[in-house]
């Protein structure tokens, strides 16, 4: 049976890991053993933080809606309840964008005010 030399395969695999470790500091960017561990850990952080990112954005949207609602004389919960009673189906992301605008939000707040009466 012929001898199988795997130098090309392992070199390609190492190269792939080292490309992913580009920008890391110290030995983590150029030593395969430490780079592999660092890339694995970076992947775990990325996986975790993709979920945390969603939570953080939702919290930011709620803060922006709350600030705009309070300028209109509502609490956040009153405003959201009024939205559902008025039949306005806008998500928090869109509401936060409108809240940053200002004029459009006061129109929505007027409809909420009517729905809560």
With bands split at pLDDT 50, 70 and 90, how would you rate the model's confidence at 6?
A: confident
The model's pTM: 0.82
Tokens 């969603």 found at:
54
List, in order of start, the domains of the chain with CATH numbers: 7-116 (1.10.1900.20)
Predicted confidence (pLDDT) at residue 61 exceeds the cutoff of 90:
yes
> Does the pLDDT value for residue 102 go beyond 90?
no
pLDDT one-digit tens code per residue, 15-46:
999 999 999 999 999 999 999 999 999 999 99
High-pLDDT (> 70) share of the chain, %: 100
pLDDT digits (tens, 9 = 90+) for 86-97: 999 999 999 999
Characterize 8-35 residue by residue with b for buried, 16 or more Cβ atoms within 10 angstroms of its Cβ, and e for exposed.
eeeeeeeeebbebbeebeeebeeeeeeb
């Amino acid at each position: 049976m012929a001898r199988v030399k795997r130098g090309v395969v392992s070199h390609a695999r190492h190269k792939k890991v080292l490309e992913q470790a580009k920008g890391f500091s110290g030995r983590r960017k150029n030593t395969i053993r430490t780079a592999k561990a660092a890339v694995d850990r970076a992947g775990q952080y990325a996986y975790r933080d993709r979920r945390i990112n969603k939570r953080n954005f939702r919290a930011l949207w709620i803060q922006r809606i709350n600030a705009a609602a309070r300028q209109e004389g509502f609490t956040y919960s009153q405003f959201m309840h009024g939205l559902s009673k008025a039949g306005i189906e806008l998500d928090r992301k869109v509401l936060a964008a409108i809240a940053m605008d200002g004029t459009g939000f006061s129109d929505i707040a007027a409809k909420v005010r009517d729905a809560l009466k």
